[in-house]
Amino acid sequence: MLFTSSESTKINDKENARVCSACGNSVHSLFSKEGSDSSIYAIEECTGCGLWQVYPRPTAEELEKLYTGSYFHARTDRGYADYASEAVKKSIVYTLEKNLRDLKFYDWEKNLGSLKKVLDIGCAAGHAVEWFNQHGWCGEGIDVAPEMVAIGKSRNLKLHQGDFLTTPFKSHSFDLVTLWASIEHLPEPGEFFRRISRILKPGGKLYISTCHLGFFARFQGQNWRYLNVPEHLYYFTKDSLRDWASRYGLQMQRSFTYGSGLTSRENPDLMFKFSKTVFDEMARHFHLGDMIVAEFENLPASSGATAT
Ligand SMILES: [Zn+2]
């Protein structure tokens, strides 16, 4: 279903027929980029909400193939060296704890009852689920990648393998749902928002981290480090993320950005370490980071959700 570079001009012929997946406004092509499968993809911008989306979107079967085999083993810009390893786990836990601090998670959770339930969507081997279990939560996770889920299950974690949209979860049963660097991979984020708002308790929280469509994305264009197609299908500005979730009764409460475009290296020299520290701090301070983290609250059904 994907086309080769010689056919990429067709992208422009077809663009008028398509609309934004989030708000329904028209989209226009910004540029094309070669994907990890050597096909050419168009990056399209919504004229209404500013969201970037990838065209064409891979089929469900093609997406499933992307996350099997080397994705979690071969170190590339788009995958992981060895996701199940202790080193990767340590780095994931470091970022998780930093994000939770900035989301004021610890103040919020103090006021919850003794049975606190969290679901991590896109949990891979369940490093975040394990962390929550160790901190007094009852954690569950779901992921499409069978190999990763099997590793998590062997560590006695409650993980589900499959599609979140078709896996049964009890309504209003979770205090917290998390999507750590996952939403950009989803073909239908709107359907996820709809279902998340159903399984969250009223007043429950949704935490999302994703690549941030801001200064670095616009400045670096095709060379932006997170422009990994076709794995990353959507790129959000703060406003487009807020507006899309709000259609399903999920109201953004706070957000922040981090990351200056300098990706961590193994054995960095002093100059790199210094530059990264300075630029990361500036990106965070001026809200220019190329990752965004946001907290949403699940409003009661009658108070503003517009999508049905
Ligand atoms: Zn839009």
CA–centroid distance, residue 303 to ligand 1 (Å): 23
The yes-or-no verdict on residue 8 having pLDDT over 50 is no
Band of the pLDDT at 291, cuts 50, 70, 90?
very high
CA–centroid distance, residue 147 to ligand 1 (Å): 35
Does the domain formed by 86-211+254-298 have CATH 3.40.50.150? yes
Give dist(CA 41, CA 55) in Å, integer.
Answer: 6
Nearest CA to 283 out of 307, 253, 303, 263 is that of 263
Domain ranges of the chain: 86-211+254-298
Is the N-terminal amide bond of 146 cis, ω within 30° of 0? no
CA–centroid distance, residue 22 to ligand 1 (Å): 5
Band of the pLDDT at 73, cuts 50, 70, 90?
low
Band of the pLDDT at 80, cuts 50, 70, 90?
low
pTM: 0.86
Are 179 and 124 in contact, with CB atoms under 8 Å apart? no
Give dist(CA 106, CA 304) in Å, integer.
Answer: 28
Greatest pairwise CA separation for the chain in angstroms:
60
Number of neighbours of residue 15 by Cβ within 10 angstroms: 15
- Which residues hold their Cβ within 5 A of ligand 1, which is an ion? 20, 22-23, 25, 46, 48-49, 51
Express each pLDDT in 10-31 by its tens digit. Answer: 444 444 568 999 999 999 999 9
Give dist(CA 159, CA 84) in Å, integer.
Answer: 15
Give dist(CA 53, CA 305) in Å, integer.
Answer: 24
The yes-or-no verdict on residue 86 having pLDDT over 90 is no
More confident residue, 264 or 179: 179
pLDDT confidence of residue 264: 67
Express each pLDDT in 237-267 by its tens digit. Answer: 999 999 999 999 999 999 999 987 666 667 7
pLDDT confidence of residue 131: 98
The yes-or-no verdict on residue 211 having pLDDT over 60 is yes
More confident residue, 116 or 305: 116
CA–centroid distance, residue 53 to ligand 1 (Å): 9
CA–centroid distance, residue 234 to ligand 1 (Å): 11
pLDDT confidence of residue 9: 37
**Which single residue is written with the structure tokens 């984020």?**
189
Calculate mean pLDDT across residues 109-125.
95
* Three-state SS sequence of 57-85: CCCHHHHHHHCCHHHHCCCCCCCCCCCCC
The yes-or-no verdict on residue 144 having pLDDT over 50 is yes
The yes-or-no verdict on residue 69 having pLDDT over 70 is no
Give dist(CA 48, CA 51) in Å, integer.
Answer: 8
Token output for 93: 């836990």
The strands making up 27-34's β-sheet, listed across from edge to edge, are 27-34, 40-46, 52-55, 234-235
CA–centroid distance, residue 308 to ligand 1 (Å): 18
Least confident of 123-137, 215-229, 272-286: 272-286
CA–centroid distance, residue 189 to ligand 1 (Å): 13
234 backbone dihedrals φ, ψ, rounded to 5°: -135, 145
